[in-house]
Amino acid sequence: MGVVAWLERLIGIDTHNPGGDERALARLLAEALAAHTPDALELVEVPRSGATGAYLFARWGTPRVLINAHLDTVPPNAGWQGNPFQARRTAEHVIGLGACDTKGAIAAVLAALEGGRPHDVALLFSGDEEHTGTCVRKFLSSPAAGGIERAIACEPTGCRVGTRHRGILALEAKLAGAGGHSSRADELPAPLADLARVAVAWADWGVRQREVGPFDFRGMCLNIAKLDGGIAFNVVPDGACLTASLRPPPGSDVAAVKAELFALARAVAPSVALAAPVENAPFHTRELAPFEQHLGELARAPIDLGFWTEAAMFAGAGIDAVVFGPGSIAHAHAPDERVPIADLEKACAIFGRLFAGRAGHGAG
């Protein structure tokens, strides 16, 4: 099948997260990859809260480079003009859930494999990218990750090479109180007021960080997102919860940033309970030149990205990475998600040259 036909088939398998079936798509892909006689082919189920995901790993030869694309999509957004799980084709685009994020990249890989058996390459099709990242973490802890030096994490970059993006740190602060009649407010704990002071302390800290970070990534983008608690004007709340987030720039030590913000919160409200439900590191490619042998001249014109990717997880495991794939992030997670057919064909050609071990010649 050609790249468009492959994408139409992939869109028809519902893998929205949570709720879709990543294993069904992994099984289809395992059958497709087996036809190209990999030296290793492994489908691994990965349990997570309320669901079971999966990843599919294939290896030809002794690879130093791995191509990764995720199986799952977000749930369909409101406003679709057709069935999100039934691909539609126009003169220039394929429309469907996951078309660019990232089933288009998977289709490009599958079509490229028709050009011949890959040479010293590994493929990883992994679930749960859109939620908690369990599948890539499971793979990185497996023996199969040994020997991999470089990864190409597929995300919609318009077939350009992304080399930097911010991390994500989500914060929760909770305070318990006694609660009671507002006539006793002077003698009861005030969890909402205390967490409001924590919010101000964090916000002021964020203002002080606005010149921190490398060029084009200044600041921490600290966001005070939500302050909950209380039921009525004449009731003292029995508890409160503050939610915040920030996006540390490349090069940041996320653990150190978290520790600093936790210390600020405890200085204001010593009994506060703190958690970081999301703690994703920022990303930057360590050394771009080796990727020229895989992506050719595209690697000489890198771009920064405004969104987080699992390239950060590969980098954190010591595997240098870049981000590359067909489509635009502007269409990801949106109604009538689409990918240009020209991008699909370009990605297919690039992957084909990479599989043949000659991507450095004309890959741009």
**Mean pLDDT of all residues in the chain?**
96
Per-residue pLDDT reduced to its tens digit, 294-322: 999 999 999 999 999 999 999 999 999 99
Burial class (CB in 10 A: 0-12, 13-18, 19+), 301: exposed
Task: Find the radius of gyration of the CA atoms of the chain.
Answer: 23
What percent of the chain lies above the pLDDT cut of 70? 98
Per-residue pLDDT reduced to its tens digit, 184-235: 999 999 999 999 999 999 999 999 999 999 989 999 999 999 999 999 999 9
Per-residue pLDDT reduced to its tens digit, 69-118: 999 999 999 999 999 999 999 999 999 999 999 999 999 999 999 999 99
User: For 3-165+282-355, CATH number?
Assistant: 3.40.630.10
Please give the C-alpha separations between residue 273 and each of 227, 228, 234, 268, 277, in angstroms, as whole numbers.
14, 15, 26, 12, 13
Cis before 18 (ω within 30): yes
* For the chain, domain boundaries: 3-165+282-355, 168-280
Q: 168-280 architecture in CATH?
A: 2-Layer Sandwich (3.30)
Given the DSSP bridges, would you call strands 65-70 and 121-126 parallel, antiparallel or unpaired?
A: parallel
Fold match, 3-165+282-355 / 168-280: no
